[in-house]
Homo-oligomer: A and B are copies of this chain.
Amino acid sequence: MGKPKLDALFKPSAIAHIGASADFTKISGRPLRFLLEMGYAGMVYPVNPQYDNIGGLKCYPDVEQLPSGIELAIVSLPAPAAVDAVEKFARKGGRAAVIISAGFAEAGPEGQKLQKRVQEVAAKYDLAVCGPNCSGLMNVGDRVTATFSSGLERGLPLDGPVAMVGQSGALSSNFLAAAKDAGIGFTYWVSTGNEAVCNFNDYVAYFLEDPRTEVVVGYVEDIRQGRQFKEVAKRALELGKPIILLKVGVSQAGARASFSHTGALASADSIYQAVFSQLGVIRAHNLDELFDFARVCTARVRPRGKRAVILTASGGAGVLMSDACEAEGLDLIEVSEGQRERLRRALGPIAARVAMHNPIDFPAEVLARPEMLRQACEVFAHDDEVDIIILYAGILPDGGEEKLAREIIQVATNCSKLVVTNWFPTPPAHVLQMLTAARIPYFTEPTRGVKAAARLADYCLLRKEYLDRRGKPEPEPAIRPEILAEGKSYLAELKKELGGRNQLTEYEGKKLLAKFGFPVPRGGLARTAEEAVTIAEGLGYPVVVKVVSPEIMHKTEAGGIRVGLKGPEEVQEAFAAVTTSARTYKPGADVWGVLVEEMIAGVREVIVGLTNDRSFGPVISFGLGGVFVEILRDVAFLPIPFAWDEAQNLLAKVKGYPLLAGFRGAEPGDTEAVVSVLMRLQTMILTLGGEIAELDINPLMICGAGQGAAVGDCLLVLA
């Protein structure tokens, strides 16, 4: 969806309302009412054969009678009639439609057919369609209120820098009304409905390019076009316009069906979270957070880091905010002697009664002399050691709130730091309006401003990393082109051999990985005990022996593995044992023989996996072996594509990381080798497209620092 098409939705020169009702309380009556009441400047044309005029406007009996040149139609007819009307409107040169009507894909097979027709019409006439089954849309600045949203029952939203995209009409409407109470203003608002034509991402992309929009907030149930979303999120990062999403449905999404171990842990929500984390999408967990985060993102200054100083009119609030800083990941600076000296100079005699640590705690006198807070703020206004100034204020006697607000505005507008004001209890409305007008974010509970500032700081740091990375030259490919070519041609051969089978044996999987340059232990397939000994002799002892059968995936359970074999007799005996055991485990199984391999002495075991998400594409998973994955589900995810430093950061995201990095004198594992495997895996996946459906390297044996890693076992499923 390009910009010109959505312009017809959001900036129409004239609007028809097809199926308009004269009863302005009805869903089919409200859009017309809102257009008339809220001050839309263009012409409005009601269409309904039952009336001659509605609300003083001439009413047209059908679409054919409409004058030409109307860009947008709001359609509130029953579903089948709605589709016909849209087609007629498009044929007359209409450019866009908001289909409010329900009864489409959400309503069963008949509705699905109707929705398909909407898509066909849209494609044929190049029509932008919002909905169907939506609450409509709004362009606040131009008073385009193509909606029946009850959010307008309390009047037009405030003008402001926030755009909203909502996948729930009712909740998005309520958000709109609540935002008015909270002093948050909008450029655009849309309820996406069934997204038959224009989808969630199209709207976000459109709003991002609008110069007045500084932040896009969204209520999300499901992003069906994940790859497109990623592109949009990248564009938002480039522009420095945060996307803040309340993503729900965490509890609905069960684990996915998966052969692979980490794949089973890759819940839909964990993939969303991984994409959001990678691309700086700020996640809100409730509507309070959605407001708070939107507010902080429209502050006049963005922080350059996470170093915070707290100035508080209450010691108790100071401790509470300190706890919040620790919980949310802000760093409280230590007040230096230099800063202390400057504070003393700024505050004069009262300085002796101010606690000069962080939080900087003022005595009750500050309530009568709010300029003290400003003076203290000014000390940090351009201090290189500070990124964020957090204020706390409470109730002030005698209208002191307004005076304090003026002081805060004075310092915050001449300050290179993010200044957030936590004000509890909430000061009078006109004081809040002063702060809003000056773009000083305020919060109605002390910890809320801390949390919001922390999320913005996270965003700013991630954005910096993102932009820095783009400035650097393209890195060396993780796999050389000739190796890649060899790997690809081997896979083509292998697929012929496999016939219909798509689950590879360990032997086949490792061979494929080896072709792509992964560190695979030396070894070979032995069909007889004698072959096994020959291979073992070639490798040198000790060796490992594992049964190979396309029908046995769980080799340990089948008694199909023997390790630490020290001589030919042990190898012979192991061959007999594992093949017999496998045949007992699964009678009639096609047992090819055994894989004989050198034995790798790793210091740790990790798991590296690949999941192909239906929406977002390939995602890498990483976790430590044993209890970490089995019991603690301690797995981190990283969507492809990623850079070397992102892969490095991934390792530290699991709780068990200290064990890998070396803990209390335990030998550290070769973390660089893990990163190298992740990079190689990414290159292989990008080269093969969707040919690999799932992959678990479990375990990846990690040797000591600088000693490399080796694929202990692998489970590979082709698409």
Contact = CB atoms under 8 A, between A and B. Distances in A.
Interface of A: 25, 27, 150-151, 153-154, 166-174, 177-178, 180-181, 219, 221, 246, 248-252, 285-288, 313-317, 319-320, 322-327, 364, 367-368, 394-398, 424-426, 445-448, 627-628, 630-632, 655-656, 658-659, 663-664
Contacts of A172: 316
29 contacts: A25-B397, A150-B396, A153-B398, A154-B395, A167-B316, A168-B315, A168-B316, A168-B317, A169-B316, A170-B364, A171-B315, A172-B316, A174-B425, A177-B395, A221-B319, A248-B316, A248-B319, A248-B323, A250-B327, A251-B322, A251-B326, A286-B448, A287-B320, A287-B424, A287-B446, A287-B447, A627-B627, A630-B663, A631-B663
A384 to B, nearest CB: 24
Contacts of A327: 250-251
A171 B655 CA distance: 36
A395 B150 contact: yes
B219 A316 contact: yes
A368 B23 CA distance: 14
A323 to B, nearest CB: 5
Nearest to A286: B447
A641 B420 CA distance: 46
Nearest to A557: B665
Most chain B CB within 10 A, of A177, A323, A324, A398, is at A323
Contact of A168 (B288, B314, B397): B314
Nearest to A102: B363
Given A154-B395, A221-B319, A250-B323, A445 B287 contact: yes
A445 B286 contact: yes
Contact of A630 (B252, B398, B628, B664): B664
B286 A177 contact: no
A171 to B, nearest CB: 3
A252 B170 contact: no
A19 to B, nearest CB: 16
Contact of A251 (B174, B248, B325, B631): B325
Contacts of A250: 323, 326-327
Contact of A252 (B168, B319, B632): B319
A505 to B, nearest CB: 23
Contacts of A448: 286, 288
Contacts of A251: 322-323, 325-327
Contacts of A167: 316
B178 A426 contact: yes
Most chain B CB within 10 A, of A219, A316, A632, is at A316
Contact of A323 (B25, B178, B249, B326): B249
Nearest to A353: B102
Contacts of A221: 316, 319
B632 A632 contact: yes
A320 B286 contact: yes
Contacts of A314: 168, 170-171, 174
A171 B321 CA distance: 12
Given A150-B367, A287-B445, A658-B631, A178 B319 contact: no
Contact of A424 (B169, B174, B219, B395): B174
Contacts of A287: 320, 424, 445-447
A171 B320 contact: yes
B659 A394 contact: no
B395 A173 contact: yes
B286 A364 contact: no
Nearest to A27: B364
Contact of A397 (B150, B252, B446): B150
Contacts of A166: 316
Contacts of A319: 168, 221, 248-249, 252
Given A286-B320, A319-B248, A174 B394 contact: yes
A659 B368 CA distance: 60
A221 B632 CA distance: 33
Nearest to A249: B319
